[in-house]
Homo-oligomer: A and B are copies of this chain.
Amino acid sequence: MLEEIEKITREVLKKITPARADRARLEKASRTLESKVSAVCAEFGVDAIVRLEGSVAKDTWLREDPDIDVFVRLPTSVPRKQLGEIGLKVAKKATQGQEQIERFAEHPYLETFIDNTRVNIVPCYNSMPSEWLSATDRTPYHTDYVNRRLSKPLRKEVRLLKKFMKGIQVYGAEIKVGGFSGYLCELLVLHFGGFVRTLQAFSQHMPRRTVDIEGYYANRQRELDLLFKELLVVVDPVDQARNVASAVHPQQLHSFAAASRAFLQTPSIEFFYPLKMQPLSVEELHNTIADRGSSLVFLTCDKVQAVPDVLWGQLYRTQKALRKQLQLNDFKVLRDAVWSEENAIFTIFVFELESRILSPAKKHVGPPLELLKECDRFLAKCSDNSSVVAGPFIEGGRWVVEVRRKFTDAADLLRSKLKSGGRDMGVAELIAENLRKDFLILIGEDVTEHYIYNEGFAGFLTEFLSGKPFWLEKPCYFSR
């Protein structure tokens, strides 16, 4: 099996390792940019250290998507409020005449392109370790640490791990993905000693895993356990108070563990290069929906305009609130998901329910007999209540009644709860604003129009209906 894996990784490395020409091109572009930014700093009288950081500086970038990150390290005397402002001013001047996009992380930074290569010009403080003033202050130290520790052969391994994670869609710390950052990949390879070894470790899944490369918590495991609550903890070698894996959502950790196990059992290049998914035809879509017997309920509204991390934070929060509301009203949610896309005009939430329609009658369990006053109040409330169908009667030491449900149709429930936006039930602010203007509840095949209209959504829904990760798709996947 290891031979098979080696054959595959060789093939992958051929594709993802930057060629000499790529390197040269990027190096030149970086140096030019560095000088330009430095010059502008001098011109503006800004006392800054300008340096290339990130995957290009560490030589762990993938040939297919280089990202030039130039950091402008400002003196700690610069007020916090002016950091972004100065950074933007310098960056804009240095890239004058090029496309410029203002982005926001903790503070604004500038995105631009040189020869189709994305370039980020990011301001930060030249602060000392453990005296961080902004989140990006650590980045130069990360670059230094990795360059000092990561051997040349291991850089290949990092590339493989990154590409594998991209393939199975767990790469990237942005909120939409909630996955593994590039720096995290570097640390994992450093700690486990390679790509396959990292996969081997994670394939032996454990509910919680802590990695402490520098041994900051040697003999203080309990302290580490109390400090960090996440399922995966990788103590930052440049900051013992920070978990590099804090953005990794449990779902993504689990996907990585399961995919690692699957790859080691049945290696295939498709983990790195997934086949393009073919959306179902409309007829197939209708058959699939009809065949499974569950109910698909869609909620769609205009797309919210916001930067991705804000947008996806709001979308996920709203998805959770809607799911909870359905469950509170006894609908059995089999699965749920949300779809949105940069250039789409709509956003769509999908809920697969066991059944959209519930029986009108349900059991309502009241207080236990020993809570005397509560029982009196419960019985009084039941005695002139038209929603009571049977009882009150005693069951298991509690008063119980059968009552008529308020909502027997999930679509009615959502319509009723969302007509004023749904802020009170936890819908995120920007989404609630859009819902208040207008929304649509679609049931099953009603979604066809949206499906035909947007290929991205069609692909998403096809994947959702299958439910299976692509790397489990092979029919005889598990050899006996």
Contact = CB atoms under 8 A, between A and B. Distances in A.
Interface residues of A, number: 65
A254 B369 contact: yes
A379 B295 CA distance: 25
Interface string A315-355: 00000000000000000101100000000000000001111
Interface stretch (A19-27, A50-58, A129-137, A255-263): A255-263
A383 B477 contact: yes
Given A334-B402, A361-B292, A402-B292, A372 B261 contact: yes
Interface string A367-380: 01110100110011
Contacts of A476: 383
Nearest to A370: B205
A161 to B, nearest CB: 19
A477 B381 CA distance: 11
Interface of A is mostly: mixed
Contact of A379 (B358, B370, B375, B472): B472
B292 A389 contact: yes
Contacts of A191: none
B475 A384 contact: yes
Contacts of A360: 292-294
A385 to B, nearest CB: 12
Nearest to A354: B359
A197 interface: no
Interface string A194-226: 000000000111110000000000000000000
Given A294-B361, A360-B293, A380-B480, A254 B394 contact: yes
A255 B480 CA distance: 58
Contacts of A293: 359-361, 389, 404
Given A258-B394, A334-B361, A391-B468, 7 more contacts: A254-B394, A292-B361, A334-B363, A354-B363, A383-B472, A384-B475, A393-B467
